Copies of this chain bind each other. A is one copy, B any other.
């Protein structure tokens, strides 16, 4: 009895020779083109106005788990970094999300979004209604940054290279398609349009300068692939629970009856 294992086109064979910095950048961008979660059908549903308010609520309260974990992830990177310049550069990622001085920060802007969707803050912050698969994926990301090499930890942030275009589509699509979405609640995404490219450019430059051997470059490519899996798995879980087939796990958020699952 034999079975043919279908080749996986997005998984290149391990690098035998080091790439030039520009070829490494091209390989990283190819991973985004094949695996970034802008390709996931749940995003088409979200941006295209196909979801009920209850389904948008489910998306927002699950995605909150990811937002809320980012400062821990970035602190984990700083915690293991002996390079003061890199620590200084990385620190603003924490304040971008946690806020500082007069800036309430990205997590607060996310809660403005869940407020606007009518979700009680304490319920969102408790993460009690989130899908277990969301928490597992998010915590896998935090742990990856704690445990892998610093270079891999930096590389795992590179999905931000691909974020601005999906944020632009999200802002336009959600404002146009949902009467419960207005400018106030998309403030998170507007702000990320400025923040993400700056961070992505820094991390890309860092990776291109520090990943010089074939093994280092392979580790960087694998780190970005891992991160795309973290993002994709969260949308798979949402799609399965709240769209098709609509199997909500025990204990997870259930949209109000009448506006719920398709």
- A residues with CB within 8 A of B: 1-6, 8, 10-11, 34-35, 41, 57, 116-120, 123, 128-129, 131-133, 135-137, 139-140, 143, 180, 225-226, 228-230, 232-233, 236-237, 239-241, 244-245, 247, 249-257
Contacts and interface: CB of A to CB of B under 8 A. Distances in A.
Given A6-B255, A236-B241, 11 more contacts: A1-B116, A2-B118, A5-B119, A11-B251, A35-B251, A131-B233, A132-B137, A136-B137, A136-B140, A233-B249, A239-B247
A232 to B, nearest CB: 5
Given A133-B133, A135-B140, A236-B133, A3 B119 contact: yes
Nearest to A11: B251
A262 to B, nearest CB: 11
A139 B118 CA distance: 34
A180 B139 CA distance: 38
Given A140-B139, A247-B41, A233 B133 contact: yes
A57 B250 CA distance: 26
Nearest to A241: B236
A256 to B, nearest CB: 6
Nearest to A132: B229
A119 B245 CA distance: 28
A162 to B, nearest CB: 14
A254 B5 CA distance: 7
Contacts of A228: 250
